[in-house]
Amino acid sequence: MNQEKRLFLAFTLSLLIILLWQAKFTPSPRKTILTNNVQSQQVASSTQKTQSLPLQKNEKRTVAESCQPVSFGRYELTICNPGGYIKNVYLKEYNEDSGYHDLLLLVGDEENYNIKQFNNKILLTGQETGRVKTLTLADDYWLRVTIVGAKNSNVLLGTVAQARGFSGRYQQAFYQPAAGKIKWVNLNRLKKSSLTWQAENSGFRSRYFLLAAQIPQTGIFVGGHWDNSACIFSIIKELRFKVGIYLGPEKLGYLTKHDLGQVVNYGIFHPVAVLLLKTLKVLHIVFRNWGLSIIVLSLLIYFAFSPLTKKSLKSMQMMQTIQPQMEELKRKYKDNPQKLNQEIMLLYKKYKVNPLSGCLPMLLQIPIFFALYQILMRFIAIKGAHFLWIKDLSLPDALFTFPASLPFIGKTFNLLPVLMAGVMFAQQKFTQPKTVSSDQQKMMTMFFPIFLGIIFYNFPAGLTLYWLTNSVLSAAYQYKINKSQLV
């Protein structure tokens, strides 16, 4: 198998694994379908039952609302009446809406609440019943909530609407039973199937932000629909109800304080991702620029694999050297496949060639690529980070905008993937034997870089920058080998 086919096969398999990984085949919680007359249903334990769910499919609030903004620590809250609930949460530090809504709404509550703020505390007092909701800003993005006077009510702890396009890939619901591991469910699956469960911790995460509710005493339930959004709610059984809510960036340092560290998960190569992320943070302390830190990380990874890369390139060159002999054997034994295989194996043995060694460095870097993919997709510090002409490393580099959207490309010209394709094309030329005359091999030399350029075209610039750096180093090293004629 020639080098181009090996590279194409290896990367195609890698991309397939990425797509399967993104699909997140997570363990499925017990299914229960929400209908207009919602029934009581069983949860994880066969002897434990939930109360009747309070939500109806696509239920709408019809009363007119009056809302006011409230600056509260790291948040800008929009508090609305009737219901005295938090309709929107804006995160000042990131200059962005969190995407989570409808916090602390008692289902069916149409009472107006007086709003009073005292430094790190907000009091919402019902004008008719005297019911009180207290929000206390504990630290960072952690809220302590107390509701008094709502016994036997159902409180909505938050909702999230499924995002469209790219961002929707990263939305998930999660739940964590007592002393158990976190289970994940893709948000689109939750909304379509209306799954519910009971757990101590539950919530949603998006690409960058997390909403997590923590109620060890009573449990949390997740439903599929509230104004066409997925929702978290709990049943208030006592006069005084308490809940802890985290609403902020998906940062391990913040979450471990509240036993939510498991929520930060980078997939099947999570340990590799954590190591790379720590290394990237150290590099950022030194270089003070995320783009430069990614390039230096690429250099470190490349030189760590350089002994294998050198051995692989030498092996590939030896494969090119014996290619004429292999072609001769194919002609000689074209009617005897068994004898052909024997002779080829003897040829490999004679020249000490391993036909699979050319793929080894790429295969070993698959975990690193997957881990970096998740980091650079989810690491919020990269969001908005500048480097050279790149305005945001979490997005395609977008050098300029086209007058109209183009197939496979979109509305922007992204320079990094074009450079990457050009470098890979040069590398293919360096490694292609001069004797190659096959039209198929020539086509592969052209097709493979273009294929990868299209795949990477709308990837975050940070990830493409890593792959471009790696490609430049590989091409330079291949050129050096060719010039020095090591083989």
Give the per-residue SS3 of 417-428.
HHHHHHHHHHHH
Question: Is the model's pLDDT at 27 over the cut of 80?
Answer: no
Which amino acid does the sequence have at 392? Answer: D
Confidence class for position 31, pLDDT limits 50, 70, 90:
very low
Which amino acid does the sequence have at 344? Answer: I
DSSP secondary structure of 234-261:
EEE-SSEEEEEEEEEE--HHHHGGGT-G
Confidence class for position 115, pLDDT limits 50, 70, 90:
very high
pLDDT value, residue 324: 80
pLDDT value, residue 218: 66
Q: Is the CB of residue 232 less than 8 Å from the CB of residue 103?
A: no
Question: Is the model's pLDDT at 280 over the cut of 50?
Answer: yes
Question: Is the model's pLDDT at 43 over the cut of 50?
Answer: no
pLDDT value, residue 11: 52
Comparing CA positions, the residue from 74, 70, 65, 73 lying closest to residue 115 is 70
Give 308-320 pLDDT, tens digit per residue: 777 776 776 677 7
Output the pTM of the full model.
0.75
Average pLDDT along the chain: 77
Give 434-446 pLDDT, tens digit per residue: 544 455 556 666 6
pLDDT value, residue 236: 86
Give 191-244 pLDDT, tens digit per residue: 666 667 777 888 998 889 999 998 876 677 776 666 678 888 888 888 899 999
Rounded distance between C-alpha atoms, residue 130 and residue 148, angstroms: 9
Rounded distance between C-alpha atoms, residue 222 and residue 92, angstroms: 28
Rounded distance between C-alpha atoms, residue 335 and residue 347, angstroms: 19
Comparing CA positions, the residue from 17, 10, 479 lying closest to residue 267 is 17
pLDDT value, residue 82: 92
In this structure, what are the phi and psi dihedrals at residue 97, rounded to the nearest 5 degrees? -70, 140
DSSP secondary structure of 303-322:
HHHHHHHHHHHHHHHHHHHT
What kind of architecture, by CATH, is found in domain 31-264? Answer: Distorted Sandwich (2.70)
Rounded distance between C-alpha atoms, residue 23 and residue 277, angstroms: 23
Residue ranges per structural domain of the chain: 3-19+272-484, 31-264
